[in-house]
Structure 1
């Protein structure tokens, strides 16, 4: 066959494309278990961060097994329903009406034996998705810890939501004021919400991302209101 001809060139190109595609497919299949494990470990670390437990990729599984001792799924009425909490896609659940969502909850028991309830979050920032976890004391109202992350917010501005300085503001804040769910506002420094809700200071220069966090908390935590109220009633 003439190696300078078009036929040879087309055959050679086709063979190389098939070989490369096969190699990439084989590599993807081979690496998939490791990738899934790394994703799971990262998720465990994020959940632990929401209860103020710092972990590394090396010890996240161990700490998760030690402190996160249960998880389950409830509906908008606070009733237990079937579902697997760890693998649930929160972004998909947000596409459904509140009454139709299934709501995962993770339970943490700290060194003192106190129980914390962890709620996953998903929302939108300025440039892409934001997400996180927020933990609540066993009164069903007081925030114990918070963790937020983002996909592509601007460094030094919206990306500051992932910094401890921003996240620690939520500790001790309340979702219910005088028995009414009001969520937690994220306001410019010096401003207060008109409805009397608890609030934190927004990220300077990151107004849209900050409001994204506020909307995320409202949209994701509100469906848990009846479940959280049931926790409060148990402690009265």
Structure 2
């Protein structure tokens, strides 16, 4: 009897059944854990988004304090249509740019955040583009002339560490401060990330110095800035209090 019992537990069928039960149990535990943590993960993403928006206007915050500062400094959130009109039925903060970019430009929604910091007005625009390996994104804020950059933040999904991934670094982000997005003729051209920029202190040349060895990622940053900003021109042209020379 004992020998038969041992043989049974050593059989292939028993091993297979044990493996199946183990896989099901582990999968169930992982699924339950993922579901339980989803609200916390969503909240972390929401707070990090607020942090990034605030960072473009020079307001630094930890994750826990982001919402209070966001509510203090962000005075308006607007969901814009391609023609510059406002979509009253859409929450701008909840717009997923990655999904919007898959739509026709006339069907996309363009979120805009307006901030007031010590009496200074800023316009914050979300960015989404493509780097060398995958998506890159960020936020860029404009001063009230809608021409001068106050600040910018960038992030990525899979750029090369030490190269393209450096777009997240403070020293790279700071290069965009006070750069202009319009040229001398009033054409919106954004800011180009240029290798060997000979005039990094020139804030009127629409250029910043590139990251060595990260040309394609830098081109992606340049492209997403100019492409995204173009969609906000119809709205800016309608604002009577904006004095920038817009072509």
Matching of residue 180 in structure 1 with residue 171 in structure 2: no
- TM-score for the superposition, normalised by structure 2: 0.86
Structure 2 gap ranges (5+): none
Aligned to 1:212: 220
Q: Which whole-Å CA distance do the structure 1 matches of 2:226 and 2:242 have between them? A: 24
Secondary structure of the corresponding residue to residue 230 of structure 2:
helix
Deviates more, 1:203-212 or 1:153-162: 153-162
Superposed CA deviations along residues 54-99 of structure 1, whole A, max 9, x for unmatched, are 1112222222122123211011211101312112111222223322
Counting matched residue pairs gives 231
Aligned partner of 2:34 in structure 1 is 28
Instruction: For 1:24-103, list aligned pairs within 5 A.
Output: 24-81=30-87, 82-103=89-110
Distance 2:122 2:77 in 1: 11
TM-score (norm 1): 0.89
State the distance in 2 between where 1:204 and 1:13 align.
Answer: 50
Write the distance in 2 (CA, Å) between the matches of 1:4 and 1:75: 67
The corresponding residue for 2:17 is 11
In the TM superposition, structure 1's runs of 4+ consecutive aligned residues that sit over 4 Å from their partners are none
User: After superposition, what is the alpha-carbon deviation per residue over 1:171-198, rounded to whole angstroms, capped at 9, x for unaligned?
Assistant: 2222223222222222122468xxx961
Which is bigger in relative contact order (C-alpha 8 A, separation at least 6)? 1
Q: 2:144 aligns with which of 124, 138, 157?
A: 138
Q: Does structure 1 retain, via aligned residues, the 8 Å contact 2:140–2:149?
A: yes
In the TM superposition, what is the alpha-carbon distance from 1:21 to its structure 2 partner? 1.6
Aligned to 1:221: 229
Determine helix, strand or coil for the equivalent of 1:148: strand
Quote the RMSD (CA, aligned, Å).
2.0
1:162 aligns with 2:174: no
**Unaligned runs of at least 5 residues, structure 1:** none
Q: 1:34 and 1:190, CA in 2 relative to 1: closer, same or farther beyond 3 A?
A: closer
Structure with bigger gyration radius: 2
